[in-house]
Amino acid sequence: MSDKHIQWQPSNISKKDRHLLNSHKSCVLWLTGLSGSGKSTLAYEMDRLLYNQNVRSYVLDGDNLRHGLNGNLGFSPEDRSENIRRTAEAAKLLVDAGMIAIVALISPYRADREQARSLFSEGEFIEVYVDCPLHICEERDPKGLYMKARAGVIPNFTGITAPYEQPFSPEIVISSNRQSLQASASRIYDYLLVHQIIENHIPGISIE
């Protein structure tokens, strides 16, 4: 809650000025989906793709944020809401700084995602549903967490003992069990081009 004695300090440089400097617009790519659906893999692939096209981007990954900014939060519905609120505020700062913020959070509740969306202007919040059937995520189990959740070692595990609410109308749907990683990244890249958030840039430094 903001205090009535705290005033907003305006900047001399607008978001539009930063877009001019960067030669691209800014937005948030909000990747939501089950654990193991491929959010982090896709987020970092997008980051590399954008970097190689001279586009400023940065990944806010749930696991990483829970080591610092969100380190005091657990997995109750209230803590997940707070996790999403803080991450959305951090993404808003990156968008204000002229960057493409790539958020990879399970963000299982629709209401929390809608709250996050409400912080942004029209067209700035791009919800990407990383769709993957639970049984495939469980087969992948890249961190062995589903096994622990089934064994009762991890409580409130999304998809097993806690809910995941699918988005009703995400801007982009990725089926990570049917599309390759490269095809998924290209799909998002094309969305950014079509919506004139980025243009085809002259490639700069290349990261393999």
Ligand X SMILES: Nc1ncnc2c1ncn2[C@@H]1O[C@H](COP(=O)(O)OP(=O)(O)O)[C@@H](O)[C@H]1O
Ligand Y SMILES: Nc1ncnc2c1ncn2[C@@H]1O[C@H](COP(=O)(O)OS(=O)(=O)O)[C@@H](OP(=O)(O)O)[C@H]1O
Q: Which residues sit at the interface with ligand X, rule CB under 6 A? A: 33, 35-42, 104, 140, 142, 176, 179-181, 184
39 within 8 A of 140, measured Cβ to Cβ: no
Binding map of ligand Y across residues 104-133, x = CB under 6 A, - = no contact: -xxxx-------------------------
- Our CA dihedral for 93, 99, 101, 102, rounded to 10 degrees, sits at -170
Place of tokens 């959740």: 149
75 binds, among ligand X, ligand Y, none (CB under 5 to 8 A by kind): ligand Y
Residue 97 or 134 having the CB closest to ligand X: 134
Other Cβ atoms less than 10 A from the Cβ of 103: the count is: 28
Among candidate residues 26, 107, 176, 184, the one labeled active-site is 107
Instruction: Tell me if residue 186 falls in helix, strand or coil.
Output: helix
Q: Is 175 a catalytic residue?
A: no
Residue 31 known to bind ligand:
no
When asked if residue 42 is in the footprint of ligand Y (CB under 6 A), the reply is no
105 binds, among ligand Y, ligand X, none (CB under 5 to 8 A by kind): ligand Y
| Among the listed residues 44, 51, 58, 157, the single contact to ligand Y using CB under 6 A | 157
Query: What is the strand order of the sheet 27-32 is part of?
Result: 57-61, 100-104, 27-32, 125-131, 172-175
Q: How far is the CB of 10 from ligand X (least distance, A)?
A: 37
The number of residues in the chain equals 208
Q: Which residues are catalytic?
A: 107
